[in-house]
């Protein structure tokens, strides 16, 4: 038994933890949980916890149902919502999913990302990320298809004084910090009810775990305030969508591989090749970073959402933005991917972005000149005339691009790739089958 496992066992005993929640994620990014008693924890570290994988959508067939969850002791955290004096205090750990023979499960999104982490490490890189996560606070998500009602009428950076969750962000930040997730900033976003919380940078696998925890914590804090939180990419026609702008950098030991003090923008050749890789494969990976039908309402009509495959320096309309804050500070050099929305599966989204960037580095992709225009204000004809390639404008287009991509199939693995395609085609066909209120209002009397 290693020192981390011993620490967990000792903490559970000393803090009188009554329940251990074992967390993992399905292919579409839904959080799953198995609860066990502390008495079973030692054997769980040694042998894992068996469960029926066929009951989790996309995990395994009935004939291959036996699946094992192996708790990762480095992710142990006490859940903050049951006070210290509560007899029901619980803790959680993320799990890696394996097969009975000990091989990693090809269905486990965490394992998909770990493969890319190992691939980057083979090239001498560690990937660090920091996301800016946007979401809406609503009176309720049980609207029966009607327009939801936001909790306030605030705008960008507004100080909330008269709304239904005045203390929400403060409580959320304290809860996140209690679960070992450092927060850099929080503020009200541009639309009524819309919030943003930025997480401090961490290695990419830890951050994916943190984002799954973040969604859980935000929803719990909202519920405790008598409201609900939604990570839907674009719940309002007239308001901005919710993005997860994510800053990437690669480190070689203590050195930031994206930094070059001699470059005009302090961008190294490695950084430029990484950007070129993500741009080159942007259409192929869009279905993963923007996985829902609703995601493309944000891409097409969202404020400051990227519409074309471009990069720019301080250009918030570009797909990839190079921030110019503190150009001379090596550890701050990073690139910001702005297409990702808050409803992605972070394990898979980070996998395809990291994999595409590494492909650009390995094959020496060339980077075109940065975009200086407000790309979102250009017409499609103007974008094409300037040589810009549009991002997919629908889930249909995005899945077609994904289906043709050998690189995405390699990154995701055959099982995840095939199930993801099947699930997204099913979602698109169900969406197409709808007869919408707009159609009935405009065509019914023809």
Binding residues: 132, 134, 184, 189, 196, 245, 247-249, 298, 304, 316, 336, 338
Nearest to 242 by CA among 318, 340, 159: 340
- Which residues participate in the annotated binding site for L-glutamate? 298, 304, 316, 338
Closest CA to 416 of 288, 279, 278: 288
> What is d(CA 266, CA 256) in angstroms, rounded to the nearest whole number?
11
> How would you class 392 by CB atoms within 10 Å of its CB: exposed for 0-12, middle for 13-18, buried for 19 or more?
buried
Taking the alpha carbons of 115, 273, 286, 313 in that order, is the dihedral positive or negative? positive
> Tokens standing for 61?
């067939």
Instruction: In whole angstroms, give the CA distance from residue 150 to residue 110.
Output: 33
DSSP H or E run through 34: strand 31-36
Rounded to an integer, what is the distance from CA 382 to the centroid of its chain? Answer: 31
User: For 86, phi and psi rounded to 5 degrees?
Assistant: -75, 135
Q: Measured between alpha carbons, how far is 64 from 59 in angstroms, rounded to an integer?
A: 9
Token representation of residue 147: 């327009």
User: What gap in Å lies between CA 278 and CA 356, rounded to an integer?
Assistant: 5
Count how many Cα atoms sit within 13 Å of the Cα of residue 422 in the half-sphere of its side chain.
9
In 3D, which of 51, 42, 92, 57 has the Cα closest to residue 69? 51
**102 within 8 A of 411, measured Cβ to Cβ:** no
Binding site residue list for Mg(2+): 132, 134, 189, 196, 245, 336
Q: Position of tokens 């009200």?
A: 188
């Amino acid at each position: 038994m290693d020192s981390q496992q011993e620490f967990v066992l000792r903490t559970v005993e000393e803090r009188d933890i009554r329940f251990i929640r074992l967390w993992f994620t399905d292919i579409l990014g839904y959080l799953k949980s198995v609860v066990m008693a502390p008495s079973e924890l030692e054997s769980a570290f040694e042998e894992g916890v068996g469960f029926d994988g066929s009951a989790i959508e996309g995990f395994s067939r009935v004939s291959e149902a036996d699946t094992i969850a192996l708790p990762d002791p480095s992710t142990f955290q006490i859940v903050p919502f049951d006070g210290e004096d509560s007899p029901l205090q619980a803790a959680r750990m993320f799990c890696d999913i394996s097969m009975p023979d000990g091989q990693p499960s090809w269905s486990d999104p965490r394992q998909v990302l770990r493969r890319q982490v190992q691939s980057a490490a083979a090239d001498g890189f560690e990937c660090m990320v920091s996301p800016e996560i946007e979401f809406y606070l609503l009176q309720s998500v049980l609207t029966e298809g009607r327009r939801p009602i936001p909790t306030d009428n605030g705008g960008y950076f507004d100080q909330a004084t008269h709304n239904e969750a005045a203390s929400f962000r403060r409580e959320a930040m304290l809860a996140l910090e209690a679960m070992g997730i450092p927060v850099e900033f929080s503020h009200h976003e541009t639309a009524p009810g819309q919030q943003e919380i930025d997480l401090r940078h961490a290695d990419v696998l830890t951050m994916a775990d943190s984002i799954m925890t973040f969604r859980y914590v935000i929803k719990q804090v909202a519920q405790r305030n008598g409201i609900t939180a939604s990570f839907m990419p674009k719940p309002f026609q007239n308001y901005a969508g919710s993005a997860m702008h994510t800053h990437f950098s690669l480190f070689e030991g203590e050195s930031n591989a994206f930094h070059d003090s001699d470059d005009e923008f302090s961008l190294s050749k490695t950084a430029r090749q990484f950007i070129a890789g993500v741009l080159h494969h942007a259409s192929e990976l869009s279905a993963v970073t923007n996985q829902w039908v609703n995601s493309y309402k944000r891409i097409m009509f969202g404020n400051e959402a990227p519409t074309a495959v471009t990069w720019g320096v301080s250009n918030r309309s570009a797909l990839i933005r190079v921030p110019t804050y503190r150009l001379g500070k090596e550890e701050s050099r990073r690139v910001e991917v702005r297409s990702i929305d808050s409803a992605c599966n972070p394990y898979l989204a980070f996998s395809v972005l990291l994999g595409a960037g590494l492909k650009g580095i390995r094959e020496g992709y060339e980077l075109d000149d940065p975009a200086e225009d407000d790309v979102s204000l250009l017409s499609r004809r103007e974008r094409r005339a300037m040589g810009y390639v549009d991002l997919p404008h629908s889930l249909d287009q995005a899945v077609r691009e994904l289906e043709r991509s050998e690189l995405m199939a390699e990154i995701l693995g055959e099982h995840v790739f095939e199930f993801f395609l099947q699930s997204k085609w099913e979602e698109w066909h169900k969406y197409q089958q709808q007869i919408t209120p707009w159609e009935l209002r405009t065509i019914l009397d023809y």
